[in-house]
Amino acid sequence: MTYCVAIRVDAGLVLAADTRTSAAFDDIRTHTKLSTFEYPGERVFALLSAGNLGTTQNVLARIARDADTPGATASLRSAADLFEAADYLGRALVEAQQKANGAAADGVNLEATLIFAGQIGTGATGLFLVYPQGNWIAASPETPFLQSGELKYGKPILDRILRPETSLEDAARCALVSMDAAIRSNLSVGPPIDLALIRDGDLRLSHRLRLGQDSPFYVEFRETWSTELAAAVRGLPPFEWEAPRAPPAP
C-alpha cells in the first residue's frame, strides 16, 4: 500500500507521499514515490506514483528519457499546457502497463496511478489524478486535493481545513497531519515522508523535505498535534447535563 496526497491552493501546490513499498508483509522496502522535473523559470512538475512499482519505475524512466530527447513526439518538456502533459502521462502509463502485461503472471496487478502537479510558464498551476486507464481528473476549488492509496484515515482533516485561500504552509501542515494519520493506522504506509512545495510563479521546486520518523521537526510536529487536538476536543460544546464552562480569562 501507499498513501499519496497533493493539494492545490491559490498559493501553489503541495505534494506528500510515504516511501514504503511492500510485496508482502515480509518484503517491505523504501522507495521514493515523489519525482520532480524542473526547468527553472520555464516549467516545473512533480509526480506521486502509487501502484505496481515495476510499472511506475518504467513510466518514470520513459518520462525522463522523453524529456531529455530533443524532438520527442511528446514530453513534459514540450507539452504546450498541463492538459496536454496529463494526456501524455496517461498514454505513458497505459503503455507501461500493456508492456508488462504481455509477460505477466496471472493475478499480478500491474496497474499504477499517478498524481501530477505542475505549472508551465504564465499558466495557472494544475493538479491531476491520472488513472490506470489513462484518463484523468483535476482538483477543483470545491475539492482542492487529490489522494491515492490508503486515503480514508487522512481524508477528514483535508475536508475540514483546505480551502483555496489556505496558505501554502498550512496546506503542507495539513498534508503532514493527513499522512501521519495513515502511517499510524496502516502498517503498509510508512516513513520517511517526502514533501514538496511549489509556490505559484516560482517555476521551480520551492521546498523539498524528507521527514524521518525521528527527525526533530516531525517529532515536534506529532507531539504538538496531539496537544492541539486534545485541546480542540476539550473546546467542544458541553452536553446539557454538564456544568457550563467558565469563559476564558480575558
What are the residues binding its own copies (CB under 8 A)?
152-157, 159-161, 169-170, 172-174, 176-177, 181, 184-185, 207, 209, 217, 220-221, 224-226, 228-242
Smallest gap from Cβ 79 to its own copies, in A, equals 30
What are the cell numbers at 233?
A: 476536543
Whichever of 29 and 184 has its CB closer to its own copies, that residue is 184
Smallest gap from Cβ 90 to its own copies, in A, equals 27
Give strand pairing partners of 148.
Answer: 4
Buried-exposed string 14-31: b where 16+ CB fall within 10 A, e elsewhere: bbbbbbbbbeeeeeeeee
Whichever of 105 and 249 has its CB closer to its own copies, that residue is 249
Burial label for 104, CB within 10 Å (0-12, 13-18, 19+), is: middle
Smallest gap from Cβ 190 to its own copies, in A, equals 16
Whichever of 140 and 167 has its CB closer to its own copies, that residue is 167
Cα gap 4→114, rounded to integer Å = 9
Whichever of 121 and 164 has its CB closer to its own copies, that residue is 164
Smallest gap from Cβ 164 to its own copies, in A, equals 15
Burial label for 217, CB within 10 Å (0-12, 13-18, 19+), is: exposed
